[in-house]
């Protein structure tokens, strides 16, 4: 299943991760680190589904996301991917 997680952000399919994939990612700090590295190197490729991007950002920077929402009075759905 780990390979499928990376394929989603590499093949341009723009598929949102399944709940099972999100659960696997959430419970695997090493996988989170790998995905963070992948994100930093491939964000400009345009392959990241907005929901996957937001999900990973919440795992990497949970306090930053919460503060952003409090001070900006915006929902996470409105965060745009910077590319």
Q: Across residues 30-54, what is the average pLDDT?
A: 84
Residue 15, classified by CB atoms within 10 Å of its CB into exposed (0-12), middle (13-18) or buried (19+), is: middle
Question: With 90 as the cut, is the pLDDT of residue 41 above it?
Answer: no
Write down the pTM of the prediction. 0.67
What pLDDT was estimated at residue 62? 65
Cα–Cα dist 25/20, whole Å: 9
- Mean pLDDT score of the chain: 76
What pLDDT was estimated at residue 27? 92
Angle, CA of 3, 32 and 68, to the nearest 5°: 130
Cβ contacts of residue 45 below 8 Å, gap of 6+? 12
Cα–Cα dist 55/25, whole Å: 10
Cα–Cα dist 78/75, whole Å: 6
């Amino acid at each position: 299943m780990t390979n499928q997680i990376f394929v989603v952000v590499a093949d341009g399919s723009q598929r949102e991760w399944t709940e099972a994939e999100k659960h696997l990612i959430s419970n695997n700090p090493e996988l989170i680190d790998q995905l963070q590295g992948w994100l930093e190197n491939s964000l400009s490729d345009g392959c990241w589904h907005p929901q996957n991007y937001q999900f990973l950002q919440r795992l990497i920077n949970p306090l930053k996301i919460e503060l952003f929402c409090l001070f900006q009075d915006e929902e996470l759905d409105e965060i745009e991917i910077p590319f």
